[in-house]
Amino acid sequence: MSRPAHRLAAKPRTSDVAVSEDVTFAGLLLSEPVLLGLRRAGFERPSPIQLRAIPLGRCAVDLIVQAKSGTGKTCVLAVLALEALVAAPPSGRCRALVLAPTREVAVQVAQVITAIGVEVPGLAVQTLIGGLPLAQDVANLRRCNVAVGTPGRIRQLVDCEALNTDSVRLFVMDEADKLMEDAFVDDINFIYSTLPASKQMIALSATYPDTLASLLARYMRSPTFVRLGKSSPALLGIRQYVMTVPCEPLVTKQLKVKLEALVNILSTVSFTQCLVFSNHQTRAETLCSQLSSRGWPSAHLSSSLSQERRLEALSQLTSLRCRVLVTTDLGARGVDSEHADLVVQLDVPWDGATYLHRVGRAGRYGSLGAAVALVSLGEEEQRLTTVIAAAGVSPLRLPQSLPDDIKTCDTTGCSSTATRLVVNYDEEVRQIPNQEEDVEAFQRDLRMGAARKKAFLASRVKDAQRKSVRGRAFPAGKDSSSGEDSNWGPYGGSTLPPHSWDELLNVCYDQQTRYLSHMTSYYTQYYGLSQS
> What is the spatial distance between Cα 130 and Cα 307, in angstroms, rounded to a whole number?
8
Across 208-234, average pLDDT: 76
pLDDT for the residue numbered 264: 93
The confidence band for 461, taking pLDDT boundaries of 50, 70 and 90, is: very low
The CATH classification number of 8-231+433-524 equals 3.40.50.300
The confidence band for 29, taking pLDDT boundaries of 50, 70 and 90, is: confident
pLDDT for the residue numbered 362: 83
Comparing 16 with 85, the larger pLDDT belongs to 85
The CATH classification number of 238-418 equals 3.40.50.300
pLDDT for the residue numbered 337: 79
What mean pLDDT value characterizes the chain? 77
Contact 93, 100 (CB under 8 A): no
pLDDT for the residue numbered 501: 53
Question: Among residues 162, 118, 170, which one has the least CA distance to residue 139?
Answer: 162
pLDDT at 408 over 80: no
Comparing 9 with 132, the larger pLDDT belongs to 132
pLDDT for the residue numbered 67: 80
> What is the spatial distance between Cα 483 and Cα 215, in angstroms, rounded to a whole number?
32
Tens of pLDDT along 439-452? 566 666 666 666 66
pLDDT for the residue numbered 77: 94
Rg, Å, the chain Cα set: 24
DSSP string, 102-152: SHHHHHHHHHHHHHHGGGSTT--EEEE-TTS-HHHHHHHTTS-SEEEE-HH
Tens of pLDDT along 167-183? 999 999 999 989 999 99
Domains 8-231+433-524 and 238-418 share a fold: yes
Secondary structure of residue 238 in the 3-state scheme: strand
pLDDT for the residue numbered 399: 76
Secondary structure of residue 189 in the 3-state scheme: helix
> What is the spatial distance between Cα 402 and Cα 385, in angstroms, rounded to a whole number?
22
Neighbours of 375 (CB within 10 A): 23
> What is the spatial distance between Cα 167 and Cα 370, in angstroms, rounded to a whole number?
45
Least confident of 66-75, 125-134, 354-363, 507-516: 507-516
Across 36-52, average pLDDT: 88
pLDDT at 372 over 90: yes
Across 142-146, average pLDDT: 94
pLDDT for the residue numbered 439: 56
Tens of pLDDT along 127-142? 999 989 999 999 999 9
* Residue ranges covered by each domain of the chain: 8-231+433-524, 238-418
Across 249-261, average pLDDT: 91
Using the Cα atoms of residue 40, residue 45, residue 47 and residue 50 in order, give the sign of their dihedral: positive
pLDDT at 90 over 50: yes
pLDDT at 297 over 50: yes
pLDDT for the residue numbered 465: 38
DSSP string, 283-327: HHHHHHHHHHHTT--EEEE-TTS-HHHHHHHHHHHHTT--SEEEE
Percent of the chain scoring above 90 in pLDDT: 39
